[in-house]
Amino acid sequence: MSGCDCAKARAELEEFLHNELRGDDVADIRAHMETCVECSEEHRVGAVLMETVKRACREEAPEALRIQVLARIRAEQSTH
């Protein structure tokens, strides 16, 4: 494992989360996340954010929501 896939994984994470990637790119990123804790954590945070934003009332500011979610995830992580 070269470790040089992180940049690609991060760059494509957004599209990955929105299911906009081609199948082979999806496979690349999935394979990378299985071996890379940092990227899989980025993905987890992104997925939680997306779910939360989707469920949230549209009138709520996404930025405020994002900050709340990130704070919650960070707090959770610091207890482990």
Which stretches of the chain bind Zn ion, using CB under 5 A?
A: 6, 36, 39
Q: For residues 40 and 52, which CB has a smaller minimum distance to Zn ion in the complex?
A: 40
The nearest distance, CB 17 to Zn ion, in angstroms, is 15
Distance CA 36, CA 71 (A): 22
The nearest distance, CB 71 to Zn ion, in angstroms, is 24
If we measure between CA atoms, which residue out of 28, 34, 68, 31 comes closest to residue 48?
Answer: 68
Q: For residues 45 and 56, which CB has a smaller minimum distance to Zn ion in the complex?
A: 45
The nearest distance, CB 13 to Zn ion, in angstroms, is 10
If we measure between CA atoms, which residue out of 67, 69, 16 comes closest to residue 45?
Answer: 69
